[in-house]
Amino acid sequence: MLIVPESEIAALVSPEAAFTAVEEVFAAMARGEAYNFPVIREALGEGRQYGFKSGLDRKGAVMGVKSGGYFPGNAGRGIPNHQSTVFLFDPESGRPTAVVGGNLLTALRTAAAAAISVDRLARKDAKVLGMVGAGHQAQFQLRAAARVRDFERVIAWNYHPEMLPKLGEVAAELGLPFEAVPLDRMTEADAIVTVTSSPAASLMEAHVSPGTHVACMGTDTKGKQEVEPALLARARVFTDEVAQSVTIGEAQHAIAEGLIAEADITPIGTVIAGMAAGRQSEDEITLFDGTGVGLQDLAVAGAAVRLAAEKGVAVSVTI
Ligand code: NAD
β-pairing, 62-70 with 48-57? Answer: antiparallel
66 catalytically annotated = yes
3-state secondary structure at position 117: helix
Centre of ligand 1 from the C-alpha of residue 222, in Å? 14
- The per-residue pLDDT string of the chain (319 residues; one tens digit each, 9 = 90 and over) reads 999 999 999 999 999 999 999 999 999 999 999 999 999 989 899 889 999 999 999 988 999 999 999 898 898 898 888 899 999 999 999 999 999 999 999 999 999 999 999 999 999 999 999 999 999 999 999 999 999 999 999 999 999 999 999 999 999 999 999 999 999 999 999 999 999 999 999 999 999 999 999 999 999 989 999 999 999 999 999 999 999 999 999 999 999 999 999 999 999 999 999 999 999 999 999 999 999 999 999 999 999 999 999 999 999 999 8
pTM: 0.97
Centre of ligand 1 from the C-alpha of residue 198, in Å? 7
84 lines ligand 1 (CB under 6 A): no
Fold observed for domain 2-106+295-316: ornithine cyclodeaminase, domain 1 (3.30.1780)
E-assigned strands of 137-284? 153-157, 178-180, 191-194, 213-216, 236-239, 265-267
Are 256 and 307 in contact, with CB atoms under 8 Å apart?
A: no
CA–CA separation, 286 vs 306, rounded Å? 35
3-state secondary structure at position 172: helix
Using only C-alpha atoms, the chain has a radius of gyration, in whole angstroms, of 19
Atom of ligand 1 nearest to the CA of 197: 32
Angle at 175 between CA 217 and CA 8, to 5 degrees: 60
Domain extents for the chain?
Answer: 2-106+295-316, 113-292
**CATH 3.40.50.720 holds for 113-292:** yes
Query: Measuring from atom 6 of ligand 1, which residue has the nearest CA?
Result: 196
Centre of ligand 1 from the C-alpha of residue 308, in Å? 30
294 lines ligand 1 (CB under 6 A): no
Query: Measuring from atom 1 of ligand 1, which residue has the nearest CA?
Result: 135
